[in-house]
């Protein structure tokens, strides 16, 4: 029983730490650009987008495909960086706590 009690306390502590890290991640942002800075995307480390900025000179009605590609590139880059930070921070909380089936 003693080991189960310790395990439960450790799980509760990790849960509190994970909630704190998630709260911190929701306010942390990453910026990514494409097209030489023409498109800038800001993503939060909780996996949401905070802003998309487009240089007005990049808007060419005859070539929307290029603008769409730049937006997609910057967005994917920002979200990938944000996810990496999130995974690293959450990994710090759960390191050393291995339960089969919990990854």
pLDDT tens-place string over residues 53-99 = 999 888 888 888 888 898 999 999 999 998 898 888 888 877 766 55
Q: Is residue 35 within 8 Å of 57, Cβ to Cβ?
A: no
In a domain, 69, yes or no: yes
Is 58 inside any structural domain?
yes
Cα gap 36→70, rounded to integer Å: 10
CATH at 58? 3.30.1310.10
Q: Is residue 102 part of a domain?
A: no
Residue 16: give the domain boundaries: 2-94
Which residues, other chains included, contact 103 with Cβ-Cβ below 8 Å and sequence gap of 6+? none
- 100 lies in a domain? no
Highest-scoring range by mean pLDDT, 2-6, 30-34, 63-67, 98-102:
30-34
State the average pLDDT for the chain.
84
Q: With respect to residue 103, please indicate whether it lies within any of the assigned structural domains.
A: no
pLDDT at 101 over 70: no
Which of 37-41, 44-48, 59-63, 88-92 has maximum average pLDDT?
A: 37-41
Determine the pLDDT at residue 87.
86
Q: Give me the pLDDT at residue 103, please.
A: 46
**Domains held by the chain: number:** 1
Give yes or no for a contact between 29 and 50, defined as CB atoms under 8 angstroms apart.
yes
Of the chain, the percentage scoring pLDDT greater than 70 comes to 91
Whether this model's pTM surpasses 0.75: no
Torsion sign over Cα 9, 11, 14, 15? negative
């Amino acid at each position: 029983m003693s080991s189960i009690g310790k395990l439960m306390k450790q799980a509760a502590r990790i849960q509190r730490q994970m909630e704190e890290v998630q709260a911190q991640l929701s306010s942390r942002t990453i910026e990514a650009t494409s097209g030489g800075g023409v498109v800038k995307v800001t993503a939060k480390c909780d996996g949401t987008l905070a802003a998309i900025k487009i240089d007005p000179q990049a808007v060419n009605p005859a070539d929307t495909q290029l603008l769409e590609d730049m937006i997609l590139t910057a967005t994917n880059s920002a979200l990938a960086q944000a996810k990496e930070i999130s995974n690293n921070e959450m990994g710090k909380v759960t390191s050393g706590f291995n339960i089969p089936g919990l990854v």
